[in-house]
A and B are shown apart, each in its own frame.
Chain A
């Protein structure tokens, strides 16, 4: 189920015994029987906190039974781990061969000049970190600069300043969750065919989509944005982050069909009918924003639906 989540890049340091430390311990458990476990654990800590805090390394060492020096050696060996906090915005320039011969070093210089830091450093106000990467595999588009996961292709050194200014000003807008080129969908119940549109409550400046929801023995209503590409949802039902909700049609009270599980979190994806054709499905876990709009014909409901076809926002 979609909701608006603020990325928490700058998490506080986990204090042993605190909730954060339990989080890290939970990660260790999650990857215990996995291959490459330690690297996967550190990878998740890195994603969550933006870096590897010392206390987290201590917790990992304690829980995995591997010496702290061992954990430290892994944490310092791999390029994607950082022991120092990173800024809110991560600017990453590709220095692959193709980018290099097309002038990437000049672009990096321009970035360094613009941000006033050197590669590998973070600005004093903790807003930007600058890093380089060996190759992102987008060689035809070089020089490539990735800012907060968004690729910018054929970057010229003259364009650098504008890119950074955009991020500095527009980062709030980017996190708002409304992707570019979003459009409104009219969604109907696949069972009774009645519209789920709710004119009274508006989300993203569009009428919302009202669904009946159940979690355990609690019943209520959840509204999701009808804007395709938005991740906004609203509910008076107190749904804790990470829990899975069952959805029904508010008119006919039939459970919405679910043809697949979310590939990311494994919760069922519920499906709605799109007026005009096609189907829209979304993940039923609060906090997971996977959704999918399928306009492929020749797949009458009830036949060739795939499992696990959860989708990223570009779908």
Chain B
């Protein structure tokens, strides 16, 4: 095989590509060196899959390849996140495209043998847990079938620490195109025409932002920032893109520099994402070595460099003025706007800040061309958007769909609907700044404008599914706790307002709420919204207001009847099985007694609540089991009725002694019993 130009050093290190022609030559050689039909095992080593044990799996595959001398016959590609984290660690085979879920190291040998023979290992293939159907091709799996993976799709083809993988997939081709054309105005026009809007949440048109930056004076420097401070709890698409395809961010930023005349780029990355920072650091180093960064990029006269700044764990630093202060090494407090960062940003210089996903869209946009790009999605909302579909849903993971897809399609077609037999109640979008969208509105298309009209926001794309076992008051309380902890404290109304909102919500979940509280909540939320300076405070009321409006009945039940129908607010319910039972039998208590072998004591508990236990043990419709927390989390409920039948069949009713004080009223004698407390209070 021919050597790539400029690479025959003693140590075969890469040297700078000094022209666009050299890049094309390199890509041609790379295409030559890789055989598309080669058998390959693809394993994800993203944060989530590593947590599930993909590291051991990778070792096992390497060991097998070396032991059986398979180098040359089969290769291994370690990639970033594919999005279906629930199934990790998984193996994808090429060219079969078979998807093996939750593979263990001991399965590797037969998996490799079968793959080399062009066969499948049936029992390891992904199987739908409801229908039982086995899928032979990854792309037939409903989770993947209904997506349009323009951005995420590249992750499976690239080892993020090998720049050649990215180049072989057409990487840096868009940059070459932009450099060849050498027309900043055209770059901005293309982005404007594409209709790309900022993926960080606000949805500001990216082209317009770039145009404004381009008009700022260049002397003294201009900055481009990639906002990778993905603080929204429940959203992790930025992590996946950074981890899995860091070069797309680099390429996007260099193209941005070509259009706007920016001189320096900064990626502000979250400290909680060590793997993403690592992959980005390696990618930056490789890009510098090959000449995609630094002085005179690809010999085309543009100079631009990117550095990484790590955050230190402050949610408010996702706000652009706070982010700038953090980059300057200061406390991340937001400041009043205007002046906007576009005119006065880092060190007072013009600065444009875009989200990770926005940057990742740029190379795609220039590869397709603005017109082609704009064909995906809807008017004013072009392109795809990645959502992190998490919470009470069957298939959790990253989902990339064209803008304008309905929530129902995402939740039911891709997400596979609820876990077990529960009913999905709402989705929460936009993280702590967003709101809840009730199930009645699931036919709404998802785009910036529709979501805003529905009282929520797109946000960075977190989509948390909630079912009937999720209490909306508790969710509002959770977000308010988050916000009160994360409020920087600069504005009084945010600092104290979120604190008081949290206290009121906490009171409601603890059964101390009154009807007046609801009015107060709304009033206070509105004040916080209107009187704070930055995005955090202005949107802090959203979780409260949207749940108050869409789930008023739940709030009313909490303050009026002191009931939490989701059985979450512990002070109001105690054990779900007991609350579900029309007789309020202490199922949790007798189940525990059965486990200890104290059958007569268990009978005592059953008879205390129910004079005809052996009948009920046969015909009861088991409301308790439907509410068992084990069933709610995807497992099987405790067989409460069967245990009851066992006890009533086994224990002689004559042993029952009607105690003067029944076991319910006794003091706690073997475990804390919130239900008992509740009963006394009722």
- Write the residues of chain A forming the contact surface with B, with a CB cutoff of 8 angstroms: 34-40, 42-43, 70, 73-74, 77-81, 95-103, 133-142, 144, 151-153, 179-183, 185, 228-229, 257-260, 263, 268, 274-278, 293, 295-315
Find chain A residues with CB under 8 A from B86 CB: 140-141
3 closest A-B pairs by CB: A277-B71, A151-B51, A137-B236
Contact with A along B78-106 (1 / 0, CB 8 A): 10000011101000000000000000010
Specify which of B84, B392, B478 lies most central, judged by the most chain A CB atoms within 10 Å of its CB. B478
> CA separation between A277 and B331, bound complex, in Å?
52
Residue of A nearest to B289 (CB): A307
Find chain B residues with CB under 8 A from A302 CB: 3, 8, 12
The answer on a CB contact under 8 Å between A276 and B282 is no
> CA separation between A184 and B677, bound complex, in Å?
60
| CB within 8 Å for A97 and B51 given contacts A42-B312, A79-B314 | no
Which residues in window 60-81 of B have CB below 8 A to A?
60, 62-63, 65-73, 75-78
> CA separation between A310 and B71, bound complex, in Å?
21
> CA separation between A297 and B11, bound complex, in Å?
19
Indicate whether B34 reaches chain A with its CB closer than 8 angstroms: yes
Find chain A residues with CB under 8 A from B466 CB: 101
Find chain B residues with CB under 8 A from A40 CB: 309-310, 329
| CB within 8 Å for A100 and B478 given contacts A298-B75, A300-B1 | yes
Q: List 13 A-B contacts (CB under 8 A).
A: A40-B329, A95-B482, A97-B390, A138-B236, A139-B234, A141-B51, A153-B51, A228-B63, A259-B11, A274-B66, A276-B71, A278-B71, A315-B58
Contact with A along B44-61 (1 / 0, CB 8 A): 010110111011101110
The answer on a CB contact under 8 Å between B12 and A185 is no
Find chain A residues with CB under 8 A from B266 CB: 35
Stretch at the interface among B119-127, B172-180, B183-191, B271-279: B271-279
Residue of B nearest to A98 (CB): B390
The answer on a CB contact under 8 Å between A306 and B233 is no
Indicate whether B7 reaches chain A with its CB closer than 8 angstroms: yes
> CA separation between A135 and B11, bound complex, in Å?
43
Known: A34-B309, A306-B14, A306-B286. 6 other contacts (CB 8 A): A36-B310, A95-B233, A97-B390, A139-B396, A298-B75, A305-B12
Stretch at the interface among B159-167, B196-204, B578-586: B159-167
> CA separation between A259 and B8, bound complex, in Å?
11
CB of B177, distance to nearest CB on chain A (Å): 24
| Interface size counted on chain B using CB atoms at 8 A | 107
Residue of B nearest to A186 (CB): B66
Cβ 8 A contact of A229, one of B59, B163, B233: B59
CB of B143, distance to nearest CB on chain A (Å): 11
CB of A145, distance to nearest CB on chain B (Å): 10
Find chain A residues with CB under 8 A from B77 CB: 296
Find chain A residues with CB under 8 A from B105 CB: 181
Find chain A residues with CB under 8 A from B391 CB: 97-98, 101-102
Specify which of B4, B33, B397 lies most central, judged by the most chain A CB atoms within 10 Å of its CB. B33
Cβ 8 A contact of B33, one of A152, A298, A307, A312: A298
The answer on a CB contact under 8 Å between A43 and B13 is no
The answer on a CB contact under 8 Å between B60 and A141 is no
The answer on a CB contact under 8 Å between B70 and A135 is no
Indicate whether B307 reaches chain A with its CB closer than 8 angstroms: yes
> CA separation between A26 and B315, bound complex, in Å?
30
Indicate whether B330 reaches chain A with its CB closer than 8 angstroms: yes
Specify which of A79, A98, A277 lies most central, judged by the most chain B CB atoms within 10 Å of its CB. A98
Find chain B residues with CB under 8 A from A179 CB: 55, 59
Indicate whether B327 reaches chain A with its CB closer than 8 angstroms: yes
The answer on a CB contact under 8 Å between A309 and B475 is no
> CA separation between A37 and B597, bound complex, in Å?
63
| CB within 8 Å for A277 and B312 given contacts A303-B4, A315-B58 | no
| CB within 8 Å for A97 and B326 given contacts A80-B271, A263-B282, A307-B285 | no
Find chain B residues with CB under 8 A from A103 CB: 629, 633
The answer on a CB contact under 8 Å between B390 and A277 is no
Cβ 8 A contact of B236, one of A139, A185, A310, A312: A139
| CB within 8 Å for A35 and B328 given contacts A263-B285, A278-B65, A309-B162 | yes
Contact with A along B280-317 (1 / 0, CB 8 A): 01100110010000000000000000010111111100
The answer on a CB contact under 8 Å between A79 and B312 is yes
| CB within 8 Å for A97 and B464 given contacts A80-B313, A139-B396, A278-B65 | yes
Indicate whether B363 reaches chain A with its CB closer than 8 angstroms: no
> CA separation between A77 and B235, bound complex, in Å?
23
CB of B246, distance to nearest CB on chain A (Å): 12
The answer on a CB contact under 8 Å between B428 and A97 is yes
Find chain B residues with CB under 8 A from A181 CB: 55-56, 59-60, 105
| CB within 8 Å for A135 and B12 given contacts A102-B633, A304-B4 | no
Find chain B residues with CB under 8 A from A152 CB: 51
| CB within 8 Å for A135 and B331 given contacts A97-B391, A100-B478 | no
Specify which of B8, B13, B38, B72 lies most central, judged by the most chain A CB atoms within 10 Å of its CB. B13
Contact with A along B207-232 (1 / 0, CB 8 A): 00000000000000000000000111
Indicate whether B495 reaches chain A with its CB closer than 8 angstroms: no
The answer on a CB contact under 8 Å between B396 and A298 is no
The answer on a CB contact under 8 Å between A39 and B310 is yes
The answer on a CB contact under 8 Å between A35 and B234 is no
Find chain A residues with CB under 8 A from B346 CB: 35
Indicate whether B35 reaches chain A with its CB closer than 8 angstroms: yes
> CA separation between A97 and B433, bound complex, in Å?
13
The answer on a CB contact under 8 Å between A263 and B281 is yes
> CA separation between A311 and B281, bound complex, in Å?
12
Find chain B residues with CB under 8 A from A295 CB: 62, 65-66, 71, 75-76
Specify which of B29, B62, B240 lies most central, judged by the most chain A CB atoms within 10 Å of its CB. B62
| CB within 8 Å for A309 and B72 given contacts A34-B307, A314-B58 | no
Specify which of A103, A139, A152 lies most central, judged by the most chain B CB atoms within 10 Å of its CB. A139
The answer on a CB contact under 8 Å between A97 and B1 is no
The answer on a CB contact under 8 Å between A101 and B464 is yes
Residue of B nearest to A182 (CB): B59
Indicate whether B381 reaches chain A with its CB closer than 8 angstroms: no
The answer on a CB contact under 8 Å between A36 and B326 is yes
The answer on a CB contact under 8 Å between A140 and B396 is yes
> CA separation between A139 and B233, bound complex, in Å?
9
CB of B217, distance to nearest CB on chain A (Å): 21
| CB within 8 Å for A35 and B13 given contacts A98-B396, A303-B4 | no
Find chain A residues with CB under 8 A from B162 CB: 306, 309
> CA separation between A34 and B310, bound complex, in Å?
11
> CA separation between A182 and B273, bound complex, in Å?
26
Cβ 8 A contact of A135, one of B3, B14, B73, B234: B234
CB of B299, distance to nearest CB on chain A (Å): 19
CB of A40, distance to nearest CB on chain B (Å): 7
> CA separation between A98 and B390, bound complex, in Å?
6
Indicate whether B239 reaches chain A with its CB closer than 8 angstroms: yes
The answer on a CB contact under 8 Å between A257 and B66 is no
Residue of B nearest to A185 (CB): B66
CB of B495, distance to nearest CB on chain A (Å): 14
The answer on a CB contact under 8 Å between A35 and B164 is no
> CA separation between A77 and B164, bound complex, in Å?
41
Cβ 8 A contact of A36, one of B281, B309, B313, B479: B309
The answer on a CB contact under 8 Å between A38 and B85 is no
Residue of A nearest to B8 (CB): A302
> CA separation between A141 and B462, bound complex, in Å?
15
Residue of B nearest to A151 (CB): B51
Find chain B residues with CB under 8 A from A39 CB: 309-312, 326, 329
Find chain A residues with CB under 8 A from B33 CB: 298-299, 303-304
Cβ 8 A contact of A139, one of B271, B390, B392: B390
| CB within 8 Å for A276 and B396 given contacts A139-B390, A305-B12 | no
| CB within 8 Å for A142 and B390 given contacts A40-B310, A306-B164 | yes
Indicate whether B30 reaches chain A with its CB closer than 8 angstroms: yes
Indicate whether B456 reaches chain A with its CB closer than 8 angstroms: no
Residue of A nearest to B266 (CB): A35
Residue of A nearest to B635 (CB): A156
Cβ 8 A contact of B397, one of A137, A140, A314: A140
